[in-house]
Chains A and B, each alone.
Chain A
């Protein structure tokens, strides 16, 4: 931390003051815009969630306090969506981290074909999520799909299953579609972390006679932890908001409805503005609580960043 930043206010030069004024003027437009497009809507959602709106008469509403929340929290639908969302997030994020770490280790080696591998790995990132869903639908389509056909040819179970028609199978397709599209992201974050580990660290380990596996377990992995945690945070926040994949693949059928989907259904399809808003606020709170837990327990380094910025 520099000495200058320790003494704000007193003895500040005119240029310092001009700079601070400019900083405020340059950030104000963005902050005002963000207040308008983020804070105002969320505030309004809270208000909507405290009211009940007539489905028949437009504009007719009454204040009901927390009733929409108690209804939602007492409904099995919410808890089913809650459970499914966490199941999806747990499965997809763990697969993405393991696979992403393996890909990153591979991409960090100098071998013939590394550039090609990096390009190929990045490709699914170019795909929009809706298309990723459709791609995996074609893979698992009964009769038409590659996976279903290969499974039947090998006489393995799953060949004659309507994958999107049964809960466990449908969830597997949704998880696969997510892993396919977003593992590159996890891999690249972890690769960036891998590239700043000094080569000397490995040389020292080599001198001490550590094996490859030991080096990975006791040196690489601990040093990689910040990058893995960061990837985990980004991916988890995204996975808890999942919407596109189940929307396209199952429309939420067969117990694959996520929290965001449930709120959407109540709001758009059932026209229950109050209850839909309460569900979206509950989704919002769930995601916030998880991110706070992450940063509190796993993200020591992220708090360091905040300190460093001051």
Chain B
């Protein structure tokens, strides 16, 4: 019987761990024709919108109001316009700074806390974990509203720091939650032997466990990075000028003020530009991302 817990089978690297009792691969199963229809439908549903976004981004002028399946004369004008747009480039810089700083700070704090929660003897562990998990369900508006008032009073409104701090509210518990389940997978014998050699628990953590946890840390870093990069509500509430806006807000305001007068070609091009690096990241780190997303979901 499977129960949901924050534990998983024991292997140091969540990405390379053997998958728990896999259904026997008796060669390759023959799919029912209807299943193939479903496979094709799922692939189409996942890919066609991407194609349409790219298709739109390559259209200019009159062809932007026609639904041709291929851009008649593909034009990179929209892409050029995006890269010549100073506000977009500033937003890109802002997003990188915010995501890198938030991820780093969250991981440093979270790796210590997660190790204690996963491995050390401690009182009220369950309560602390529940508390941490419950923060991830907070609606961002409940943080954004008071921050909006506080930041305007102390001058952090519309600054990068003023965005990094509230983004930590969600990045930190996410990192703690994932890392706790990763640390639990590292075999206990490793610490025991470090203790035998006279190491203190903290030394064991720093010298033995942390190096082994690098794959887990990388997984957590990728997922925290994606979630910070994606975050929109805090970013739109706590900024007002292009100097402090990260990418999602810049793109949303690219759209102009009226919904009938939008530079949809340029918006699509900007969307493609910021999506490509993330798609590459997902392709390269597929296994890690899957293991991080399902961290703690299932116990064998």
Contact = CB atoms under 8 A, between A and B. Distances in A.
Interface of A: 4-5, 8, 16, 18-20, 22-24, 26-27, 29-31, 33-34, 37-38, 41-42, 44-45, 48, 102-103, 106, 108-113, 117-131, 134-139, 141, 143-146, 148-149, 164, 180, 185, 188-189, 191-193, 195-199, 202, 223, 226-227, 229-230, 237, 240-241, 243-244, 247-248, 250-251, 253, 259-260, 263-264, 267-268, 273, 276-277, 279-281, 283-284, 287-288, 291, 301-302, 304-310
Contact of A102 (B38, B145, B226): B38
Contacts of B283: 119
B116 A117 contact: no
21 contacts: A18-B200, A27-B116, A41-B150, A45-B145, A110-B23, A117-B42, A119-B286, A120-B42, A123-B47, A128-B247, A131-B274, A146-B48, A195-B20, A196-B299, A226-B4, A241-B233, A243-B232, A244-B232, A248-B255, A291-B137, A309-B6
Please report whether the interface of chain B is mostly helix, strand, loop or mixed according to DSSP. Answer: helix
Interface in B236-267: 236-237, 247-248, 251-252, 255, 259, 264, 267
B133 to A, nearest CB: 10
B113 A31 contact: yes
Contacts of B19: 195
A301 to B, nearest CB: 5
A26 B112 contact: yes
Given A23-B121, A268-B237, A309-B125, 13 more contacts: A27-B113, A111-B28, A117-B43, A124-B46, A134-B271, A135-B50, A185-B293, A192-B294, A240-B139, A243-B140, A264-B237, A279-B141, A305-B3
A33 B247 CA distance: 26
Given A19-B201, A122-B286, A130-B248, A27 B128 contact: yes
Interface stretch (B76-84, B163-171, B212-220): B163-171
Interface string B224-238: 001001101100110
A42 B201 contact: no
A86 to B, nearest CB: 14
Interface in B265-300: 267-268, 271, 274-275, 278-279, 281-283, 286, 289-290, 293-294, 297-300
B71 to A, nearest CB: 11
Contact of A34 (B132, B229, B259): B132
A24 B128 CA distance: 11
B49 A130 contact: no
B120 A193 contact: no
Please report whether the interface of chain A is mostly helix, strand, loop or mixed according to DSSP. Answer: helix
Given A144-B64, A301-B4, A126 B48 contact: no
A33 B201 contact: no
B208 interface: no
B143 to A, nearest CB: 5
Nearest to A45: B146
A267 B169 contact: no
Contact of A126 (B134, B268, B278): B278
Contact of B4 (A113, A251, A302): A302
B172 A34 contact: yes
Contacts of A118: 286
Contacts of B236: 247, 264
Contacts of A143: 65-67
Contact of A241 (B50, B135, B141, B229): B141
A81 to B, nearest CB: 11
